[in-house]
Chain A
Amino acid sequence: MVKISVLQHAPEAHLPIRPGDPTPTSRNLDPLMHPFARARERTRALNAAKMDRMFAKPFVDSLEGHMDAVEVLARQPGSLTTVASGSWDGGLILHNLSTRRQLFKVPQAHKGKVSGLCFAEGERLLSCGVDRNVKLWSISGSSETPLNVFPGKSAFNSIDHHRSDPLFATASNLVQIWDETKSAPISNLTFPTSTETITSVRFNLSESSVLASIGSDRTFTLYDIRTGKAERRVVMQMRSNALAWSPTFPTTILLASEDHNLYTFDIRHLTTPSQIYKAHVAAVMSCDWSPTGLEFVSGGWDRTVRIWKEGQGHTPEVYHTKRMQRVSSSIFSGDARFVLTGSDDGNVRIWKAKASDKLGVITARERAAMEYRESLKERWKMDTQVGKVARTRHLPKSVYQASKLKRTMLDAQRVKEERRRKHTRAGETKPKPARKKVVLVEQT
């Protein structure tokens, strides 16, 4: 007896039971059923990379109102929308990012430029200027007179508020700690041998009594306000222009240096930076961490804004526009989705932190598709074409030429060094890693 069975598909298993039901799908994961799976996935990855570039429209808006270059920006802790900006003409504006309106404006907050801004507890704002004054403003009202004025002895360069206590620190030729209720500084902090200007000062966010400053004498100094002393100092090859503490990793600090690089340091180990970030082609003027601690933004003298991933020292995202001049200040927004930059042309610009991000409501399917595209790009980034599309950025001609020139010079230097080493006695000179060259000396 012969047993015969012939393949048949039960239609009820493959057709919707009632009209309007979704059609049942079936899967067969046998690779023979999916010919060219890899080639098709690569095509998809290439399309994903291209779509990413197609939708890359990072510029959101610009906030106007300043008469001169924007020197400083500050974000209100705990608020997603409130941002203060100070300019070289002494003006001070409080912006609302979502409505793009000015909440509060003082055209002549200081004589000369506003050099530092920070928010204090309870809707108050502290500003310092080169007119040797620190002023405390109430931002809830609209009066143009400050709540309090703290007169200093020399021009201030920077100000930062303590995370929890009513204290703030200013930087002039020395670091001073002030109490909000007292009109004179409660302590002066300085490294014993330091004589030059302090350009910026920042409190640590979690270990809130630790303070870091950078100075024009190429130093980076750590203080503790409890002991009232400068604890450590590092002299570097070039001076730094800005510094920022990591919001998630308390021992990490980011320095924006004059030598076109950014450095992250682990303050427990100050002899070498933990990472060098190289892409700017002129001095880096400002830097700020994303609240997630995974990214940071930097603005440079080369008129570009760059957004870096923590730990990846090359190929950052780069933003530029025709009319944007030297970027003197840059901050992340509180939700890590936007970046704000203030530049010499007097505008504060809002950018997306991720260039091809879609603003507005995103459905679950759309989100899933976006995540799939992200992972495809990640997976195929080593492919020549996909990688090229994902990596290539258009740069202004001046920046492009400058980077080319810089590369040529660095190459030449390296080759020269190599040749010199080749023709000296073996083992006499060792190549020095770039990370070892940054710090000249560490002092305690």
Chain B
Amino acid sequence: MDILVARADALQPLGKKRKIHHSPRTPKGSSTDRTLHSVSKHTSVPKSFSRLPDAPTTYKHIANKKLRADLNRHTAQATRAKALLEDAEMLLGDEAGKIEVEGELEKTWRVGQDEIAEGAGQEAAKGRREWKLDGGPYRLRYTRNGRHLAIAGRTGHVATFDWMTGTLHSELQLQETCRDITFLHDHSHYAIAQKKYIFIYDRDGVELHCLKSHIVPTRLEFLPYHWLLASIGNAGYLKYQDTSTGQLLVEHRTKLGACTTMAQNAHNAVIHLGHQNGCVTLWTPNLPHPAVQLLAHLGPVVGLSVDPSQGGRYMSTAGKDGTVKVWDCRNWKGAVREWSVRSGGDVELEWSAKGSLAVASGGSVNVYATPSIHTPMHTKAPPPLYLTHPIPHRPLTSVRFAPFQDVLTIGHAAGLSSILVPGAGEPNFDSAEADPFENKKARREKEVKALLDKIQPDMISLDPEFVGSLAPPPKLTTVTTIDGKPPVEIPFARLPRLERLKASGKLDETEAAEAENEKDLDDNGKLKSREEREKRKQRGKGKSLKRYLRKQRKNVIDPTAVAIRKKLEKQREEKTRARLAAKNGEEPKKFSALDRFKRAP
């Protein structure tokens, strides 16, 4: 037996602490491996190994060793992954477009579309187009990969096409009012807000569904990761339809009347609505009331857009009062900056993927570029203009940036015009998310993958990072110290009732405080013994009043409760006075006129 233990000498019994042999000869620091030392001069460790995470969070406070080791490992891995992410940026192939000017006097907005188209490459110059159509003012929408375009004219002319190759998918003359159009998950389906209902068509223009629960819709938004089609109508009901299961998920009554302005935040799937009374409301499917409501304008809100470039941090609104405002969605205290557009009326807004803001108003489209549009400004000066383009066909009803292109398309009364905005588009796409060059097989595969990864609608919230974050500590345990011992955590179920009430916040402290005031004094002014107090306690007296008080919460000021409290106070005072009187024997009488005849005692 001892032989076995002796053989396994390298591993000593677990119970004993292992002795650490410090060799006295070698000074500290020089105890490295000799081989390693000789090799290290001529070699270099791969970057991924050599770069240690700069300051990983330590979990020294966690007692559980296994959990601590797990957490440490995960943090180190995450930090390393983050560091490696910076290296991966070198692999990005395409470069963003830009306009560079020399000197102060040259302005980018003086550069016209002809000049830009001339300077652009052959492929990019295709983005500058004019479509002359006579279907009334047009609304339009791109797919998420920027390849396909859907347009809907007010009078019912609807078309979807691949705008790069010019392949027409479908063209419909619906002969009724079309107010908005949106693609669903990809270009194979699209939804149109028509005169009375929403209709869903497939790529070839075959009507698939008529959504009769959406009545008189005005605007549509599709939340691609949740597969939800959101619509708002003249009745002011925001409705969410799940396009994967087909059920109407929820309808919210906004109570703010007809609404014609809607935008989604692509980073948290919150729907922004602009109302007639100047309010902007933010909605999620799981809240029956707006998550945020703010008074943005002194008149109807007509344009609304959320910036995708900063993770949905900025929102811009435009009102009928002719002002455009940029808001910080984390802090609603006033607009970051605001300015008024020269020609009032309906203003359309759209942010690009790189943070350019397009403002279409009156007869022109203005584009503002990124750093200046986000910097706070107290005056109402407009930000420096980046590009401007006049369009003589009023009204301009829709502006959309093409994803992954430097193209801005404007829908107006005489059709569509698309202009080039250098630097507006994200140059590098990710094939796993949206690929402009995907083939049929990839599209099909993506559809299945997206359905599998569909996020449940109740996970929409203002902060999308709450998924997978630490839950707040439950209230169901309390940490108590029992007679000076170190604090122990007692589960809720095993607490005494009073403690449980206290933990769940249902205990009313008023009674306790009153009981403290009302210390029972016996005739000699001493505290009565506990038994005596119990015995003398009059049951049932003033019970209903006290019960009423007990049911009230202390932090709520209720006139009835205040009155009752006062009444009880008065009763208590009377009682003490009576007790004092009893103690002092006779109450000291007032001096009466006849007292002068009293014989002195």
Contact = CB atoms under 8 A, between A and B. Distances in A.
Interface of A: 1-11, 13-15, 23, 25-36, 38-44, 47, 204, 207, 210, 222, 224, 226-227, 231-232, 250-251, 266-269, 271-272, 274, 380, 383, 415, 422, 426
B431 interface: yes
A7 B96 contact: yes
B interface secondary structure, majority: loop
Contact of A6 (B120, B309, B438): B120
16 contacts: A2-B106, A3-B100, A4-B115, A4-B119, A6-B119, A7-B97, A9-B123, A26-B93, A26-B428, A38-B467, A43-B456, A210-B4, A269-B14, A269-B16, A271-B15, A415-B494
Q: Which of B438, B453, B459 has the most CB of A within 10 A?
A: B453
B8 A251 contact: yes
Interface in B89-114: 89, 91-102, 106, 108, 111
A40 B225 contact: yes
A433 to B, nearest CB: 14
Given A4-B120, A11-B437, A42 B467 contact: yes
A204 B5 CA distance: 13
Given A4-B120, A7-B94, A39-B455, 4 more contacts: A2-B119, A6-B127, A6-B420, A232-B1
A38 B483 CA distance: 46
Contacts of B442: 23
A274 B494 CA distance: 31
Contacts, number: 182
Contacts of A272: 15
Contact of B430 (A14, A27, A39): A27
Contact of A269 (B1, B15, B91, B267): B15
Contacts of B106: 2
B95 A266 contact: no
A26 B124 contact: no
A33 B483 CA distance: 56
B111 A2 contact: yes
Nearest to A46: B456
Contacts of B435: 14, 25-26
Given A7-B405, A11-B437, A43 B97 contact: no
A132 B100 CA distance: 100
A29 B428 CA distance: 10
A292 to B, nearest CB: 19
Contacts of A274: 14
B135 interface: no
B338 interface: no
A interface secondary structure, majority: loop
Contact of B93 (A6, A13, A268): A13
B404 interface: yes
Interface in B472-490: 482-483, 485
Contacts of B120: 4-6, 8
Given A7-B427, A32-B308, A268 B119 contact: no
B11 interface: yes
Q: Which of A33, A34, A251, A271 has the most CB of B within 10 A?
A: A33
B393 to A, nearest CB: 24
Contacts of B85: 29
Nearest to B84: A29
A38 B468 CA distance: 7
A30 to B, nearest CB: 8
Nearest to A34: B433
B3 A9 contact: no
B429 interface: yes
Contact of B433 (A4, A33, A204, A266): A33
B425 A36 contact: no
Given A2-B111, A44-B453, A383 B468 contact: yes
A14 B93 CA distance: 11
B535 to A, nearest CB: 27
A34 B311 CA distance: 10
Contacts of B7: 207
Contacts of B422: 4-7
B225 A27 contact: no
A30 B310 CA distance: 12
Contact of B99 (A4, A226, A271, A415): A4
A204 B429 CA distance: 60
A66 to B, nearest CB: 38
A6 B124 contact: yes
A304 B159 CA distance: 64
Contacts of B404: 7, 9
A268 B4 CA distance: 9
A422 to B, nearest CB: 7
Contacts of B267: 32, 35-36
Nearest to B7: A207
A29 B83 CA distance: 12
A7 B425 contact: yes
B209 interface: no
B371 interface: no
Given A7-B95, A14-B437, A207 B100 contact: no
The 9 closest A-B pairs by CB, nearest first: A231-B1, A4-B119, A8-B124, A6-B120, A25-B431, A268-B13, A6-B124, A14-B437, A3-B100
Interface in B434-452: 435-439, 442, 452
Contacts of B420: 6
A271 B14 CA distance: 11
